[in-house]
Amino acid sequence: MCDCMKLVGSKLHEALMQKVPEGSEVSTSIFDKTGFDNQVMSFTTGNVYVMLKYRLAYKAKKKDGELAKNFTRLETVVKMSYCPFCGEKQEDK
């Protein structure tokens, strides 16, 4: 399995750090949205995979036949089979 997520992430982090004011505290927590969005770690392999999110919004029909005022939102994710950076197949081993 390739290391593109780590390598590209390191390069992006380095480039963005140049814009951070001196003396700032930079979070290293994924919970603070530091790093890539839409990734998942496999507990069976320990590998990190890219996920592609798909969203759908719709207004449901009410009992009286009118459409609801607000949108209902659905979303799901699909794990990428190939690395988005180098194209290497991402296998679960």
- Residue 57 pairs in a beta bridge with 73
**Helix H segments across the chain?**
4-17
pLDDT tens sequence across 37-83: 888 888 888 888 888 889 999 999 999 999 999 999 999 999 888 88
pLDDT value of position 42? 83
What is the model's pLDDT at position 93?
A: 63
Distance (Å, rounded) from C-alpha 79 to C-alpha 90?
Answer: 9
Please state, in angstroms and as integers, the Cα–Cα distance from residue 71 to each residue in 21, 54, 59, 64, 74, following that order: 40, 16, 5, 17, 10
pLDDT tier at 11 (50, 70, 90 boundaries)? very high
